[in-house]
Structure 1
Amino acid sequence: MLKVLITGSNGQVGSLLVQQLSEKAEVLAVDRDKLDITDEQSVMDMVETFQPDVIINAAAHTAVDKAENEVELSYLINRDGPRYLAQAAEKIGAAILHISTDYVFAGDKVGAYSETDPTDPQGVYGASKLAGEQAVIAACPRHIILRTAWVFGETGNNFVKTMIRLGRDRDQLGIVGDQFGGPTYAGDIAATLIAIAERFHSGQDVAWGIYHYSGLPSVSWFEFACFIFEQAQSQGVLDKSPALKSITTSDYPTPAKRPANSRLIMDKIHTAFGIPASDWKSALNDIRPYGK
């Protein structure tokens, strides 16, 4: 049976990885309370004891604005932790699947980003995640770096939950309309990582490297919010939707710069593994869990 070590198991993707793998693999699911991935010896001890076939790293410091002031912590979690996990994977002959982000790019390209486009992170979060990618690649040849964007799931904080919460309290909302990307359901990310892990475990060839994975169709945050409120009202989660106004990035300043363009090209992952884009609209066919 496939043996998988999942880090960040209480997060948006990690919790769904545990759920989806529970009956098809031997899983050791750990969050920060059970494993500090920034502790090199602790990582090595756990990996050598459990002997996983695959390590899936879903742990990260994802507080984009806080990262601007928490530089050391960001690099510890987003660079050093992945390095230790990859080194441990290499030592026992395992593979490592690591989640990364669109923030490794500047976000100013006209078209969608491919895996070969130059990286140019604009803040500490993106820079630390890029450093994590590089650390994983250097430490273990059996790696998949999965860059994704605009993640939402039933667990943790995300845009869908925030919109429903604000929609209950406010009659009007201003939503950024000049940033574009593909919303990505955490459950689809989990399913993608599991498919790759199973392919490796079955002995099939795996084209290791960097892959992009996000949702289609691409939309602005404003368009995403419009769809969320349509679903929430039609499904009875909200009695009525707030009036929405499209605003610009400059109207809503944040400590960390957000990419104007987070669109990702997914031809590579479809060709290599037959994996389609995340169908984020279908993932919100039942929006009730997000309104709790």
Structure 2
Amino acid sequence: MSAAAGNARPAPRHWLVEGPAVQARVIGALIMREIQTRFGRHNLGFLWLFLEPMVLGSVLGAMHAAHGQALPGNPDPFLFSISGYVPFFMFRSVVNRAGSALHSNLTLLFHRQVTPVDVLIARNLLEAAAVFAVILIILGLAAWSAEVWPANIAQIFAGLVLMFLLCHGISMMLAAGVARWEGLERIIHPVTYLMMPLSGAFFALSWLPAETRDLLLWVPLVSIHEMIREAIFGAIFVSYYDIPYVILFILVVNLLGLAALRGARRKLEIF
């Protein structure tokens, strides 16, 4: 072996590998910090992350089932309600928590490796993980107790991924907006509640007139709920959704969110 070969140093890791690896470690640490901050070190507190959407969704589903009125297409009313509310719970939780995301982690943003995007990704992944777990439990219970098998499991989780990406983009825009104008945070909560009747969580577009259906399809939440509902119930009723429009909407809000957060970090560093 030549001296040159013996003294050769290993080539440095490419930035395309090193960058994502560092960001993944940062996001993992932020997730663990978020869990401890929100729920402490008690197991029951952490379990509430999964129990909250399950309990709220089950109560709403039971109320609709107890009403006794058959739904068009005759889907199971409990499963119809809970499978609509739980994805909307992801939207509500992610969007409602966006306003406090940057200010509650302000000290961390002085570290070069921690960015506002990392903070939002960590928070949003935590909320999404709870919803994914609850949906799995719901589908398992439905298959075991009522023998209702989902028509397309892959499509269910594709719809949930679209919901997460939509929520993430909106949350970035709102977090940046609150950093510039704190009064915006007071508006977020009422708006998310007002969105519930328009989200498609508790109705199918096939039940509505064509003119109303065309208007509601401009709301991306409606298409996502229709997609998930079709994947669960199959051909019980006709589903209407526009996934290319949803993907375009997601790309736009995420790009706007990234640009807004870039400007927000400079403002936060002043303080």
Q: Normalising to structure 2: TM-score of the pair? A: 0.27
Taking structure 1 as the reference length, the TM-score comes to 0.25
Q: Which has the higher contact order (CA 8 A, sep 6+)?
A: 2
Higher CA-based Rg: 2
- More helix, by proportion: 2
